[in-house]
A and B are shown apart, each in its own frame.
Chain A
Amino acid sequence: MSVSAPTRPTRDPVLLAPISWRTPIIMTVLAALALFGFALFTPAGLESTIELTGASAAWQLPDLVIGSRAAALALVLVAFALAGLSFWTAQNRRRSMAVPVVFGICLVFAFLIWAVAGNASGLPLPFLLSTAMTAALPLIFGAFAGLLCERSGVINIAIEGQLLAGAFLTAVLATVAGNAYVGLIAAPVGGALVGLILAVFSIKYRVDQIIVGVVVNVLVLGLTSYLFSTVLSDDPLRLNNPPQLPALRIPLLADIPVVGEALFNQNIIVYAMYAAVVALHIGLFRSRWGLRVRAVGEHPKAADTVGIDVNRTRYRNVVFGSAVAGFGGASMVAAGLAFTKEVTEGRGYIALAAMILGRWSPTGALAAALLFGFADSLNRVLNNIGSPVPYEILAMLPYLATIFAVAGLVGRVRPPAGAGKAYPS
């Protein structure tokens, strides 16, 4: 027998890539910013109060009261230690997601303790998390929409427009029907219609996907704004006054301290989201449908040669994905809020960032969207309880979080290889 090439994966033990110091360096810089930015300037003698249970919880825990300066400094020191640890892991070429995550939590708490130092009402942690979930919802569904499309090879820049269309239809139809659940049925239809435009132009007419997406966003923004300022403004009570989607409290689970409210005292959209994560994860990575979708997104020609209809798969995924985004749009008016001009405020783009940060996986996108949602709600909660940081700076938080997360944590990401390119039919 002659010598044949090795048939098993070959990985090189000898020559290695240069060590990437990016993550440890970013961590050190952030810890230093925290130290000199606020931790050192925490006034001595003040105390920070943190609420651990919500008002509705069955078992009430006492508030946590700690010395502000000592606690903030201690947390920042832990952060420095973690940055050091991260130098060590990088040196040894290990990859750890836990270190940056714990690091982030430490810095966030250090910041919160400083921000509420001496504040009489204290930080309502369960409420903060609960609103974080609400703020994350459109991002989560938006990111799901993005990955559903992109996994099949179509870049969906039009998430913004799909969220907006979903929110608009929900507000109007829920108001007209007098039933919040009717809005939930209307929302995905709105998203899907927008998705259909994207699909037809990018798949059938093979127009550049990014350009179509941007044009669609502008179109939907213009249309909804026009309808808002004409039709809806004429009779806001009968057209733009959606009923609130009720919170469904799950007994016992919702009583869990700190996170119970956020996870289990929410409206049906949140529960639908839980189901969606599981279904999407299994669907994409375990099912026949997912294998084919990913094949089409990675190497459409190869999929074609085994008898998979590339463009039909793409059509289906784009329309379905867009419907998911539309559904997410409903969450923006679910609290009984009226639709306003550009109610999405660029969340569609943040959702796209969440998708990338989450590496095109449903669970990753969920985690990333929750991170951005948290930054968003932090800004509002701190603003409400009166914090020493100017509102304008706080308002930048979600975007800063996006930039740091994408730059520092993502590393080398690999989008589906066939994304962005039309397939000849």
Chain B
Amino acid sequence: MTLELRGITKRFGSLVANDRIDLTFEPGRIHALLGENGAGKSTMMNVLYGLYTPDEGQILIDGEPVTFHGPGDAMAAGIGMVHQHFMLIPVFTVAENVVLGHEPTGPLGIIGLEQARTLVREISARFGFDVDPDAKIEDLPVGVQQRVEIIKALSRDAKVLILDEPTAVLTPQETDELIEIMRQLRDSGTAIVFITHKLREVRAVADEITVIRRGKVVGTASPTDSQAELASLMVGRDVSLGVEKGPAEPNEQALEVAGLSVLDAVGSPVVRDVSFTIRGGEVLAVAGVQGNGQSELAEVLLGLRKATAGSITLDGTELLGKSVDQVLRAGVGFVPEDRSKDGLISSFSIIENFVLDQYAQEPYAKGPAMQLGVGRQKTAEAVEAFDVRTTSIDDPVSTLSGGNQQKVVLAREMSRPLRLFVASQPTRGLDVGSIEFVHQRIIAERDAGTPVLIVSTELDEVLSIADRIAVMYRGSIVGIVEAGTDRDVLGLMMAGVPPEEARQEAVEHPTAMHEVEGEEPS
């Protein structure tokens, strides 16, 4: 089945998320949609899947115009989608999730669970998945959850399968397996829409590439084009891939973490016996697949979470057991994982957000009174220094784009003398320009002699800014390795393989993407 988008426009208020998009997806092809964060890729797919109604334009199946009133219609038409944020019910089993909405039923609407299990087993067998139909989703690692999503789409005979940023949660090896699955599906005649902002992946699998920028189709590219060409098409200007940084010059300052363990709300361990040291002037990146305890580790450092064992000493002072306020006053800068939820108060102005963690201290306050003038002046300076694009610092921070919001958070955390800087997913959801900027500021902080801890699930980011890399798997540190470590090795470590074994394994079984990378010097 051929699926065509013709002149699709979708607006959110004044923002045009999709601007007259024309696209065609053909059976037996892997069509990659490449675009930066915020380019409008997910919006377009949600239109295609019936979740949003387009403001203008048409969807055509085999040349016939169709109208979708909801995802049900799109599914009935043979469109399946693996969403960027998985649409699985955590407390249901795999089989229940797969059949939800098209359950096999017996008398009185009783669900035929055996049929559901068989369905899961059949599709799993076809692709060599090892998925237990009776496992609960919440007990499964994200990589497996994604397979459940794929099984779910295939169980409805999807002729067009949309994968929205499917590799964001995978290790390189898992990505490799996913690519294999995509090829298998393509060869059996499925049209695959592969959405990503990672150039390397596009070049590895795509049959054709469409690049989207600011809601518009800006061109098509061939998988044989170089990474730099793809990057400049995606961003609209030449970009340097990677951060310029000199070698680290460690000093005497240090953060020492020893034997740290943390339990989650239901009492299962999320961080286990973690120990490491970061010297001043050095960036330690914590890599790992999402949900392996990295975020919790960062939160414990700030005092947002309690540890059950261990110690955190900064220049000899114990941080554990101190309140967040005390930790901040001890000179810890912290960029939380979710800026819109934990980093900013969206209805507050930029000034108010800027003074958020120091409003009660000198120089922003004198006794009980806030010194509004001081706040205004310092904010104006910081906005200038951090290149926050805004019309007025009195505007609510919610009016800024994601990248500029993140710059406000960074400006706040870095505008005071720091003795430790911790950032969780500092560039998640940002456009390339902002990513570059954020990385430069982080390296500048390092070069000022501060110990820096970065938590990131993006291997590219880890590789470009880390001086040393700690890989976490199920709450433990699998190993701490040097900056130049091969991405395949890191990928295996992210699946829990110890460094030595990982090195061997990576040499014996390089991933497909590794080969792509090898084609050109980058």
Contacts and interface: CB of A to CB of B under 8 A. Distances in A.
Interface of A: 1-12, 14-18, 282, 286-289, 291-292, 294-295, 298-299, 301-309, 412, 414, 417
Interface of B: 49, 51, 70-73, 75-76, 81, 83, 87-92, 96, 100-103, 105, 108-111, 129-132, 135-136, 139-141, 143-144, 147, 152, 171, 173-174, 176-177, 261, 263, 266-269, 272, 289, 308, 474, 492, 495-497, 505, 509, 511
A193 B230 CA distance: 61
Nearest to A412: B266
B266 A288 contact: no
Contact of B139 (A9, A282, A295, A301): A9
Which 7 pairs of residues, A with B, have the shortest CB-CB distance?
A17-B267, A307-B72, A306-B101, A9-B139, A302-B87, A15-B269, A2-B173
Given A3-B173, A17-B267, A287-B108, A307 B139 contact: no
A304 B109 CA distance: 20
Contacts of B144: 5, 7
Given A17-B263, A295-B92, A304 B100 contact: no
Nearest to B506: A2
A118 B81 CA distance: 74
24 contacts: A2-B173, A5-B141, A5-B144, A5-B171, A7-B144, A9-B135, A9-B136, A17-B263, A17-B266, A17-B267, A18-B263, A287-B111, A292-B101, A298-B91, A298-B92, A299-B88, A299-B90, A301-B87, A302-B100, A303-B89, A306-B71, A306-B72, A306-B87, A307-B70
B308 A7 contact: no
Interface residues of chain B: helix, strand, loop or mixed (majority): loop
A5 B289 CA distance: 11
B77 to A, nearest CB: 11
B268 A9 contact: no
Contact of A3 (B76, B105, B147, B505): B505
B87 A2 contact: no
A91 to B, nearest CB: 15
A307 B474 CA distance: 35
B173 A4 contact: yes
B316 to A, nearest CB: 29
Contacts of B90: 298-299, 417
A163 to B, nearest CB: 29
B89 A298 contact: yes
Contact of A2 (B72, B81, B177, B261): B177
A286 B110 contact: yes
B367 to A, nearest CB: 39
Contacts of B140: 7, 9
B497 A18 contact: no
A67 B383 CA distance: 85
Given A7-B132, A288-B110, 19 more contacts: A2-B505, A4-B143, A4-B173, A5-B171, A5-B174, A5-B496, A7-B147, A12-B269, A17-B267, A287-B109, A287-B110, A298-B91, A299-B87, A303-B89, A305-B71, A306-B75, A306-B100, A307-B71, A414-B91
A8 B136 CA distance: 9
Given A305-B71, A307-B72, A8 B495 contact: no
B105 A288 contact: yes
B293 to A, nearest CB: 12
Of A16, A291, A299, A305, most buried by chain B (CB within 10 Å of CB) is A305
A75 to B, nearest CB: 34
A3 B492 contact: yes
A288 B103 CA distance: 7
A291 B110 contact: no
A12 B73 CA distance: 42
A79 B85 CA distance: 51
A307 B75 contact: yes
Of A5, A10, A304, A309, most buried by chain B (CB within 10 Å of CB) is A5
A299 B75 CA distance: 19
A303 B100 CA distance: 8
A398 to B, nearest CB: 31
B288 to A, nearest CB: 12
Nearest to B273: A15
A3 B111 contact: no
A417 B92 CA distance: 12
Given A15-B261, A305-B71, A306-B71, A288 B111 contact: yes
A292 B100 contact: yes
B135 A8 contact: yes
B497 A3 contact: yes
Contacts of A15: 261, 268-269, 272
A305 B105 contact: no
B495 A291 contact: no
Contacts of A8: 132, 135
Contacts of B101: 292, 303, 306-308
B81 A305 contact: yes
B106 to A, nearest CB: 10
B314 to A, nearest CB: 26
A412 B111 CA distance: 29
A282 B110 contact: yes
Of B92, B136, B176, B505, most buried by chain A (CB within 10 Å of CB) is B92
Contacts of B71: 304-307
Contacts of B147: 7
A417 B71 CA distance: 22
Contact of A305 (B51, B139, B495): B51
A298 B91 CA distance: 8
Contact of A5 (B73, B152, B261, B495): B495
Contacts of B263: 17-18
A174 B103 CA distance: 43
Contacts of B108: 282, 287
Given A282-B110, A305-B83, A11 B139 contact: yes
Contacts of B266: 17, 412
Contact of A299 (B70, B89, B152): B89
A304 B81 CA distance: 13
B86 to A, nearest CB: 8
Contacts of A417: 90-91
Contacts of A303: 89, 100-101
Contacts of A292: 100-101
Contacts of A298: 89-92
Contact of B141 (A2, A10, A305): A10
B49 to A, nearest CB: 7
Nearest to A20: B267
A12 B268 contact: yes
Contacts of A287: 105, 108-111
Given A18-B308, A291-B100, A4 B174 contact: yes
Nearest to A15: B269
A95 to B, nearest CB: 13
A264 to B, nearest CB: 26
B503 to A, nearest CB: 13
Contacts of A299: 87-90
Of A6, A282, A309, A417, most buried by chain B (CB within 10 Å of CB) is A6
B476 to A, nearest CB: 10
Given A7-B144, A298-B90, A306-B75, A2 B268 contact: no
Given A288-B103, A306-B101, A5 B268 contact: no
Contact of B109 (A4, A16, A288, A306): A288
Contacts of A309: 70
A2 B492 contact: yes
B108 to A, nearest CB: 7
B142 to A, nearest CB: 8
Contacts of B109: 287-289
Contacts of A304: 51, 70-71
Contacts of B73: 307
B176 A2 contact: yes
A58 to B, nearest CB: 37
A419 to B, nearest CB: 13
